[in-house]
C-alpha cells in the first residue's frame, strides 16, 4: 500500500496562507490539488499534505519528517525545481536522500519535452531515503498532469521494492 505525503513548495502560496488577514482569500494551491488527485488515482493513502515556503532547510526537514518511521513510503513534491534563485527543492532533496533514482526524473523530463520547449530547465530529482521514494515534480499544475501517466505504471512496484517485498525477478 502506498502511503503518500504531498508537499507543495511555494513561498508565494505559503505566504498567502500564513501572512494573510482572516478577511483575505488565500491563493489556491492548484498544484497541490493535482498531486492529491494523482495520489488518489493510484489508490494511495494520503498521510500528509503541506504547503511550505522555498527554504532549503525547511524542505529537507519536512522530507526527513515524512520519510521517517511511521510516515510515508512515497513523497511527491511540487515546485521549486527551476532556475530561479529561490528554487532549492532539488538541493534539499539531495541533502536527505541516500540513493538517487535518476531514471524517474529523466522520464518526467522526457514526458515534458512533448509539451514544452522549457523542459530542460527542470532540475527535479528523485531518490530513496530509508523506505521512502521521494520525487520532485514541477510546480505547474499542467506539468503534474503530464507527469502522472509516466509515474503511474511503476510506482507501486518501486514502493514495494523499497519496502523490501519479494519480487518475481
pLDDT digits 0-9 by tens, 19-43: 555 555 567 899 999 999 999 999 9
Would you list the domain boundaries of the chain? Answer: 3-162
pLDDT tens digits for range 50-77: 999 999 999 999 999 999 999 999 999 9
Task: Read off the pTM.
Answer: 0.91
Query: What Å distances lie between residue 156 and 2, 3, 39, 165, CA to CA?
Result: 7, 10, 11, 11
- Fold exhibited by the domain 3-162: Molybdenum Cofactor Biosythetic Enzyme; Chain A (3.40.980)
pLDDT of residue 12: 80
Collect all residues with Cβ–Cβ distance below 8 Å to 163 and sequence separation of at least 6. Answer: 73, 131
- Residue 3 has φ and ψ, to the nearest 5°, of -115, 110
Amino acid at each position: 500500500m502506498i502511503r503518500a505525503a504531498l508537499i507543495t513548495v511555494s513561498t508565494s502560496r505559503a505566504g498567502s496562507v500564513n501572512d494573510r488577514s482572516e478577511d483575505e482569500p488565500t491563493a489556491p494551491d492548484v498544484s497541490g490539488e493535482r498531486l492529491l488527485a494523482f495520489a488518489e488515482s493510484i489508490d494511495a493513502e494520503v498521510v500528509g499534505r503541506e504547503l511550505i515556503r522555498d527554504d532549503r532547510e525547511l524542505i529537507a526537514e519536512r522530507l526527513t519528517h515524512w520519510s521517517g518511521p511511521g510516515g510515508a513510503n512515497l513523497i511527491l513534491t511540487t515546485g521549486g525545481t527551476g532556475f530561479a534563485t529561490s528554487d532549492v527543492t532539488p538541493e534539499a532533496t539531495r541533502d536527505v536522500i541516500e540513493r538517487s533514482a535518476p531514471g524517474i526524473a529523466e522520464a518526467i523530463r522526457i514526458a515534458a519535452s512533448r509539451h514544452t520547449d522549457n523542459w530542460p530547465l527542470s532540475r527535479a530529482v528523485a531518490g530513496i531515503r530509508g523506505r521512502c521514494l521521494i520525487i520532485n515534480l514541477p510546480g505547474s499544475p499542467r506539468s503534474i498532469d503530464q507527469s502522472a501517466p509516466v509515474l503511474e505504471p511503476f510506482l507501486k512496484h518501486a514502493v514495494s521494492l523499497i519496502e523490501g517485498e519479494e519480487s518475481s525477478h
